[in-house]
Structure 1
Amino acid sequence: MPDARIETLRRLEDFCYQVAHYILCDDGLAAEAAKRALLEAGRTPAFLAGAAEAQRELMKRFAVKHSFAVKQNGQTR
């Protein structure tokens, strides 16, 4: 039985990728940004303890932050 943290991250994984892809318009870069955002979210106590809507808002912030970081660094996968 997966723990609540994994379930929460899985629930928001597609949303996270969608945000990153909207910004980057590139599948590989969006996947990298989403991966980084999900990792940060999983390590953030405020994210894990928040209500569903607060989690979604924080995930959006993480996705935007990591999308711009990936874009700025020109990193691929």
Structure 2
Amino acid sequence: MERQVKFAILRRYESLCYQICHYLIQHEPSASEAAKEALLSIAVDACFFTDSDETRKEKVRRTSIRMSLLRQNHGSLK
């Protein structure tokens, strides 16, 4: 699959990813970082690009939640 096609697919889920991260973290810079990390993590999942829309949304939800929790835990350790 071409890189531009993958970028286009990821962009469709960017807003959902950020919304979840922001809801959980409630701090814009940290939410942006968590969303970026989540999307980068999703980008290396080759199956993501051939999954159904519902499966993609579920992967985005799970990854966004995981990255948000990691970011919150990492921030609390400082």
**Paired residues, number:** 75
Deviations 1:8-46 (A, max 9, x none): 110100100000001000101100000000001110012
Stretches of structure 1 that go unaligned for 5 or more consecutive residues are none
The whole-number CA distance in structure 2 between the counterparts of 1:4 and 1:59 is 18
Identity of aligned residues (%): 31
The whole-number CA distance in structure 2 between the counterparts of 1:66 and 1:22 is 13
- Compute the TM-score of the two structures, normalised by the length of structure 2: 0.89
Match of 1:60? Answer: 61
The whole-number CA distance in structure 1 between the counterparts of 2:8 and 2:54 is 15
Runs of 4+ in 1 over 2 A off after TM superposition: none
Mapping of 1:1-77 within 5 angstroms?
A: 3-74=4-75
Larger helix percent: 2
What is the RMSD computed on CA atoms of the aligned residues?
Answer: 1.7
